[in-house]
Amino acid sequence: MTLLGALARRHPKSRGRGRLGAPAEVVLGLLILKHVRNWRYHVLEREVRANLVYRDFTRVGGGKTPDAKTMGRWGLAVDPETIRQIHDRIVQIAQQQGVTQGRRMRVDTWWRPTSITRPTARCWATG
């Protein structure tokens, strides 16, 4: 599936009705930047809003930067297979231009710290 098809699938009649959505190249640029920099969506929003180079790369230009919630919805709308194809193509282009050998690719993951307490004798007491 293409990126444009994934975005159109969110709301089936969105291609012919209502307000125009963001162009697929803007969505693609934002998703690539998020994955390359390993940022969360709110950090991506802040950085793109403040940095002219990022605005140019993502094709936002002088327009309004999409908010983090909208970008998160776009990220959910694009299926993992399409993201994998995009990442594979980026690695292929980087190999062709001699930027990288592409032997390994980092997968975007995240974790959340939590406090886990050790069980006490009180936890195991019955009755």
Token pair, residue 75, equals 């990220």
Of 19 and 26, which is predicted with more confidence? Answer: 26
Look at residue 90 in the predicted model and tell me its pLDDT: 82
* Rg of the chain (C-alpha set): 20
* 55 has a pLDDT exceeding 90: yes
Of 76 and 100, which is predicted with more confidence? Answer: 76
Look at residue 105 in the predicted model and tell me its pLDDT: 60
Each residue's pLDDT tens digit, 106-121: 666 566 666 666 666 5
Run of H or E including 48: helix 41-50
Each residue's pLDDT tens digit, 2-19: 766 766 666 667 667 766
Beta strands (DSSP E) in 6-126 are none
Which amino acid does the sequence have at 40? Answer: R
